[in-house]
A and B are shown apart, each in its own frame.
Chain A
Amino acid sequence: GAGVSQSPSNKVTEKGKDVELRCDPISGHTALYWYRQSLGQGLEFLIYFQGNSAPDKSGLPSDRFSAERTGGSVSTLTIQRTQQEDSAVYLCASSPWTGTNDGYTFGSGTRLTVV
């Protein structure tokens, strides 16, 4: 697509429920990144994909978080048994490849609220 698309744009969920956040990167971009932006905080790196592979998952905050990417395109970030501290804006970005000097293209984010 023309830009990075994230869905849903807003999600309110009850504590303990599972949620799935979707990211559709720019067509042809092999690298995809997930970040979390909490109120008043900077960007916390979660995970990145080169193709369908995630070389390092150590940025995920807990084992309730998982992510996958299929077909080198769409990625899903899943949060199981959501907690209130998971409330944040989840940002996805893509780039032609990792290590590019061209920077990232970000989506508009998914605002997750856990009540």
Chain B
Amino acid sequence: GNSVTQMEGPVTLSEEAFLTINCTYTATGYPSLFWYVQYPGEGLQLLLKATKADDKGSNKGFEATYRKETTSFHLEKGSVQVSDSAVYFCALPYGGSQGNLIFGKGTKLSVKP
């Protein structure tokens, strides 16, 4: 099946800093790619997605571009806020006959004022 590798954390940044969280994948074909976010004490929420190569997903100031050449889907934000402190997960379908998503190990982001 498909697989995903995500940058290990934790990541600590000052407010207004630039954020990059790396995500690379191995997949058959060009599956949809997702970023999920988990705020403290909450379940996971879909942050953004891209459904085909070269697509850019965006939400809440975050962006990620589906790059098939480098099999990557890195998450970026130009200016982080304290409220962005959370755990971020990259995900894609496992593939084959299985209908579930597989997730990276998660990257914990802490933003200091």
- Picked from A41, A98, A109, the residue with its CB within 8 Å of the CB of B99 is A98
Chain A interface residue count, CB cutoff 8 Å, equals 24
- The answer on a CB contact under 8 Å between B103 and A101 is no
- Please tell me if the beta carbons of A45 and B43 are within 8 angstroms of each other in the complex: no
**Chain A residues touching B, majority SS:** loop
- B105 in the interface (beta carbon within 8 A): yes
A-B contact pairs, 28 of them (CB 8 A): A35-B103, A41-B105, A42-B89, A42-B104, A42-B105, A42-B106, A43-B103, A43-B106, A45-B102, A48-B98, A48-B99, A48-B100, A50-B99, A55-B97, A55-B98, A56-B97, A56-B98, A91-B44, A99-B93, A99-B99, A101-B49, A103-B34, A103-B46, A103-B101, A104-B46, A106-B36, A108-B43, A109-B43
Q: Name 19 extra pairs, CB < 8 A, besides A43-B89, A48-B98.
A: A4-B43, A31-B99, A41-B105, A42-B89, A42-B104, A42-B105, A42-B106, A43-B106, A48-B100, A50-B99, A55-B97, A56-B97, A91-B43, A99-B93, A103-B34, A103-B36, A106-B36, A106-B44, A106-B45
